[in-house]
Amino acid sequence: MTSSEHTALVFLSCGGTIEKTVLPQQGQLGFDHSRVSEWAATCRIAQTWRSETLMLIDSLEMTDADRNTVAAHVARIQESQVVILHGTDTMVQTAAVVAKHRQPHQTVVFTGAMIPVSQSNSDGLFNIGMATAAVQLLEPGVYIAMSGQVFPADAVRKNREKGVFEAVATQAEEPSQHQNDNGTLRITKRKWTGSFR
């Protein structure tokens, strides 16, 4: 495996609200086909990237088998920069499974949307932008980019009442590397010392 394969960028779509569109016959939101490759073109990403659609489902209907499918796929691909589009309701659960199986060189960032990209007021492309930057700037690990922030995947939850993602204490047994003693997240800025190509 060459270095360039290691640093390449891949978008994996699992569906979720970000991929939904109104189906004319039903008059309801649903899926027809993935737009992920169309979006990457719109966003004018100049480096090498590729996209793949793993499934197109509502994340509330995602089973353990589905999560294992996603994790096994991440464990198999060559890319180090992995952006995963996913429904928001169970994004944290799938991220936890992927965290167990990802390769050591991989940075995985989950994102999605509260409003489908097919709607004119969507947060989707902004969120993909956050994920695309984060996946290149952060060391290997699993993260979630939503609500204007990037969170370690084991230190975030979706607050359904507010419709936002928010930081929580990590689930790890030992004190988290991400937290101070008082439970707030430690603030340490990163030094930009290179590039991601």
Q: Compare residues 77 and 125 and give the one whose CB is closer to a copy of itself.
A: 125
4 interacts with a copy of itself by CB under 8 A: no
The residue written with tokens 């990163």 in the block is 190
152 interacts with a copy of itself by CB under 8 A: yes
42 interacts with a copy of itself by CB under 8 A: yes
Q: Compare residues 61 and 72 and give the one whose CB is closer to a copy of itself.
A: 61
Least Å distance between CB 41 and a copy of itself? 9
Give me the 73-112 binding string for a copy of itself, x by CB under 8 A, dash otherwise: ---------------xx-----------------x-----
Q: Compare residues 97 and 138 and give the one whose CB is closer to a copy of itself.
A: 138
CA distances from 144 to 1, 12, 86, 127, 159 (A): 27, 14, 10, 10, 14
149 interacts with a copy of itself by CB under 8 A: yes
Among 73, 101, 157, 178, the residue binding a copy of itself under the rule CB under 8 A is 178
191 interacts with a copy of itself by CB under 8 A: yes
Find the part of the chain contacting a copy of itself (CB under 8 A) among 63-71, 95-103, 135-143: 135-143
133 interacts with a copy of itself by CB under 8 A: yes
* Residues ≥6 apart with Cβ < 8 Å to 9: 45, 47, 48, 49, 50, 79, 81, 83, 132, 135, 136
Which amino acid makes up residue 93?
A: Q
CA 165, 169, 175, 178 dihedral sign is: positive
Find the part of the chain contacting a copy of itself (CB under 8 A) among 66-74, 90-98, 123-131: 123-131
Q: Is 31 exposed, middle or buried (0-12, 13-18, 19+ CB in 10 A)?
A: middle
127 interacts with a copy of itself by CB under 8 A: yes
3-state secondary structure of 42: helix
Question: Is-contact 127 133, C-beta < 8 A?
Answer: no
> CA geometry: angle at 40 spanning 33 and 164, to 5°?
80
